Amino acid sequence: MRRLAQLLAAGEVTSTELVRRCLEQIKERTELNAFITVDEEGALAQAAESDARRVRGEALSPWDGIPLAIKDNISTKGLRTTCASRFLQNYRPVFDATVVERVKKAGLPIIGKTNLDEFAMGSSTEYSAFGVTRNPYDLERVAGGSSGGSAAAVAAEMVPWSLGTDTGGSIRLPAAFCGVVGLKPTYGRVSRYGVVALAPSLDQVGPLARTVEDAAALFALIAGADPKDATSAGSPAFQVPTWDGVVLRGLRIGVPEEFFGDGVSPEVRAAVRGTLESLEQEGAILKPVSLATNEYAIETYLTLVTAEASSCLARFDGVRYGERVAAPDSNTMFARSRGAGFGPEVKRRIMLGTYVLSASHYEAYYEQAQRVRTLIKREVEKAFEQVDLIVTPTTPATAFRIGERRDPLQMYLSDLFTATANLSGICALTLPCGRDSQGLPIGLQIMGSHFQEELLFQAAHAVEEIVQRGASSEL
């Protein structure tokens, strides 16, 4: 991204040219189905404004004029925001989400809105009312979810970077499957205002990019307190780290054996362990840590996320906005509209959430899940008393084939290694650390304690350099 910024500053390329190249690439890779809405007219108009600012010497930021894509569950004023659902297929918000306001303030043209699992409920982007997003490395495989469109668009060079959301792994999982960098920030570090909520206690907006440095630059634009978001943390503004070399010597890296067991692909395990060995050779200290409560993370996460989803989606009733089916009375209209507008996975999670919140099951399921969440959080905090960062595989395996996981329980297990970061509120990042025998990307996850994004990015940058050196030596 730094190179693009330099070219723009020198007048060797214009924002309009960058946007046109993105639009051309989107048209060339339509088979990926990465976008729900492409705003060609709007993006070109924003690019023209950026070019005019540069001529006048009024660039808004170093990244002014560099286009990006936005996940389609983030509100964009006047631009369709569907959440990949028939219910909202024609919905156009009257306001921008705070993160959208911030990227616009920095002068970034918005190319369009990317595909996702309906209402962000999924791990493969197969649950979209607008069709599945395909993996750029293998069109027969999923891109991951729920931010599959955002990851695929970056991986296929349709856009330099994008925004996604992460509730249980929805940035990191597709980033790992598509071989790009993705960050789930500390809870509260990025405003959720204007994001169509799935689970408010878990949701976070984060960047996807092709390099660690680019992800950090985009994160710096969107991070920071927001009075419009009651869950926004009053943390200091994030500063992009210097990249003149992070000293790995003495850095304590926790390695939880629970994340390297029998359920992990041998190729994934070997790639992550090989990277850990390289870090150790560079002076990092590898320390075993226990995250035994991760065994209960999926059950806990599913209980809480379905409960919150059931409550959040109650607002979609066909009365004020969204899909409306004609009926003789309001109750029938309500039922028919939701039945016609929601897909099967959304209906499944609403029913599960309503069940766990019911008076007869609230204590046994929802309250119990909250207690286990506290135990998970405490165990994570205890681990960070011993180490600076924790490294694991991002996913147990590489991208699976489209249609392969018909069983919902199988699909839910995709978040096995990512949900803990959401439940505990910590920051976590994924980046590529190799490929398997079929050429599919393998993701390595680095978790940091609350508000440790700067250290996370520095360590990830060091890992990135190690992986690149290893790849170069194999050529």
Identify whether the C-beta of residue 272 lies closer than 8 Å to the C-beta of residue 463: no
d(CA 1, CA 63): 8
- pLDDT tens column, 200-244: 999 999 999 999 999 999 999 999 999 999 999 987 778 888 877
The partner residues of 401 in beta bridges, in order of sequence, read 141
Peptide bond into 123 cis (omega under 30): no
Helix (H) or strand (E) holding 47: helix 40-56
Q: Cα 344 to chain center, whole Å?
A: 23
Identify whether the C-beta of residue 1 lies closer than 8 Å to the C-beta of residue 217: yes
Catalytic choice (124, 146, 310, 414): 146
The percent of residues in the chain predicted with pLDDT above 90, rounded, is 88
* Diameter of the chain measured on Cα atoms: 72
Q: Is 170 a catalytic residue?
A: yes
- pLDDT tens column, 248-276: 999 999 999 999 998 999 999 999 999 99
Catalytic choice (75, 147, 170, 191): 170
Reduce the DSSP state of residue 135 to 3 states and report it: strand
Catalytic choice (15, 50, 71, 191): 71
- pLDDT tens column, 427-447: 999 999 999 999 999 999 999
DSSP 8-state code for residue 435? E
User: What type of residue sits at position 69?
Assistant: A
Q: Is residue 409 classed exposed, middle or buried when 0-12, 13-18 and 19+ CB atoms within 10 A define those classes?
A: exposed
* Helical residues (DSSP H) of 386-452, grouped into ranges: 408-412, 419-424
- pLDDT tens column, 118-152: 999 999 999 999 999 999 999 999 999 999 999 99
d(CA 405, CA 401): 8
Q: What is the pLDDT averaged over residues 308-313?
A: 96
Which structure tokens are listed for 298? 């999926």
- pLDDT tens column, 328-347: 888 888 788 888 899 999 99
Q: Is residue 19 classed exposed, middle or buried when 0-12, 13-18 and 19+ CB atoms within 10 A define those classes?
A: buried
Half-sphere exposure of 428 (CA within 13 A, CB side): 32
Which structure tokens are listed for 442? 């393998």
Identify whether the C-beta of residue 356 lies closer than 8 Å to the C-beta of residue 366: yes
**Residue carrying the six token digits 């996320």:** 305
Measure the N-to-C terminal CA separation of the chain; round to a whole number of Å.
Answer: 25
What DSSP string describes 150-171? HHHHHHTTSSSEEEEEESSSTT
d(CA 328, CA 317): 15
Which structure tokens are listed for 332? 């029938």
Query: How high is the pLDDT of residue 474?
Result: 65
Distances (CA, A) of 341 to 15, 85, 203, 329: 38, 7, 23, 18
The partner residues of 443 in beta bridges, in order of sequence, read 432
Q: Cα 412 to chain center, whole Å?
A: 16
Identify whether the C-beta of residue 416 lies closer than 8 Å to the C-beta of residue 298: yes
Q: What is the pLDDT averaged over residues 17-37?
A: 98
Domain ranges for the chain:
2-222, 252-290+379-474, 299-363
Q: How many other CB atoms sit within 10 Å of the CB of residue 124?
A: 28
Reduce the DSSP state of residue 194 to 3 states and report it: coil
317 — pLDDT class (breaks 50, 70, 90) = confident
d(CA 359, CA 336): 26
Query: CATH assignment of 2-222?
Result: 3.90.1300.10
Q: Is residue 288 classed exposed, middle or buried when 0-12, 13-18 and 19+ CB atoms within 10 A define those classes?
A: exposed
Q: Is 232 a catalytic residue?
A: no
Distances (CA, A) of 24 to 18, 47, 112, 159: 10, 15, 13, 11
Which structure tokens are listed for 346? 């959304």
Q: What is the pLDDT averaged over residues 140-165?
A: 98
Query: How high is the pLDDT of residue 267?
Result: 98
User: What type of residue sits at position 377?
Assistant: K
Q: What is the pLDDT averaged over residues 171-198?
A: 98
Which structure tokens are listed for 287? 């320390």
Which structure tokens are listed for 3? 């190179």
Reduce the DSSP state of residue 412 to 3 states and report it: helix
Q: Is residue 166 classed exposed, middle or buried when 0-12, 13-18 and 19+ CB atoms within 10 A define those classes?
A: buried
Q: Is 278 a catalytic residue?
A: no
User: What type of residue sits at position 406?
Assistant: R
**Residue carrying the six token digits 């924002």:** 15
Q: How many other CB atoms sit within 10 Å of the CB of residue 86?
A: 17
